[in-house]
Amino acid sequence: MKRQKILSLLLFSLFCIASLYASNTSSYTANYQQEPFIQFVYGIPPVLDGVSNTGIEDSYFTALLGVVTVTPNGNQTFQPEMFSLGLESNLYIEGYTYVGGWPNVQYNNAIPVHIRAITVISGNVEQSVIVSPGEIPLGPANGNVTPGGASMLIYLVLENSTGGPSYFIPGTSYRLTDGSNVGFFSVSATVSQNKPNEIIPITLNGGTTMDDDAPFIGETGEPTTIPDIPYEGDFEFEYYFELTILERFENFDLQTALMGIPQVIARLQLQVILAAQNTEYGVEIAFSSSDPTGFTLHLNGDISEHGFPYRLFLGNTEISNNVLMVWDQLYTQNDDNASVTKDVSVLVESSSLVENAPQGFYKDTVTVLIVPLDTM
């Protein structure tokens, strides 16, 4: 509890600093252009191709969040800094990864990531730093950072440096965990080494409203929906698969499921497209519950609330949580595509967890991963 109070005081002090300096903002203009579609790649994001000394290795897994452009109304900028507000010290993404190479796949719900700020002036990196709560230098403490009135570009990059090549799976989406707060940031600088820094008001995505801070992800002043971040990767297959939910049944009858009668909750169609004729194709498919302990229905879908386990089936085959299983028998015959349809159903076994469950609506969110197999 004592530590929480200290953190609150620190954040209050930072906001006071922003408010104190915001009254004198005529020396700079700034805009934060967020990426409309965040996507993971290995190495530096394509926009930074040709820029050296970024601090990003080829083995790093990165996604560009956006670019802050700071332009001095005069000719110079000294001592640029960033205040990160509300940012968690530890950020994590979750999703499927390889363990020791293909085909060993597991769901990892705590993959460490951080945000890197890369300051670029006239094509050269002035500073590349990991963003943490508090005050972050964006350039050298002494000297004219933007000679001749050049703009200062700050690339904000989400980065994992621990997984290494072939750890993340092409065709998979990753997401920041619910406990990862990416927060807001503000930027400050001074026109002279003899003057204090001033907060630079930021417009978001070319808008007209100027604020003292901007969100790393999401919209200002609105609840932030953290997007899934896909990694398209490099596939070795010319053909591709599509998994479609043909029908989805939002509810099922619990009493019938308790009687041992499977209740269909979805109808899936797996297709292979642009494939060779007269060939069998297949995938490995995995289903993962929002509850890391296994398939569990929770009150209002909140894993902190009361829950009870359920069994999940693909066709007549029982599914294990986060375990790959083969879905094959896609025969193209005399065509370049094929499809197979299967039902997903649930059973619930009677237990004290079911009998003592509080009245209400119970649900689970299931994530599906498919990994292409070569021709069978």
- At 111-138, the pLDDT tens digits run 999 999 999 988 889 899 999 999 999 8
pLDDT at 15: 32
Instruction: Summarize the confidence of residues 148-164 as an average pLDDT.
Output: 89
For the stretch 84-118, pLDDT in tens is: 998 988 899 988 888 876 667 788 889 999 999 99
pLDDT above 70: residue 139: yes
The residue that leads in pLDDT, 126 or 374, is: 126
pLDDT at 346: 92
The residue that leads in pLDDT, 52 or 178, is: 52
pLDDT above 60: residue 24: no
Q: Which residue has the tokens 């072939």?
A: 166
pLDDT band at 220 (very low <50, low <70, confident <90, very high): low
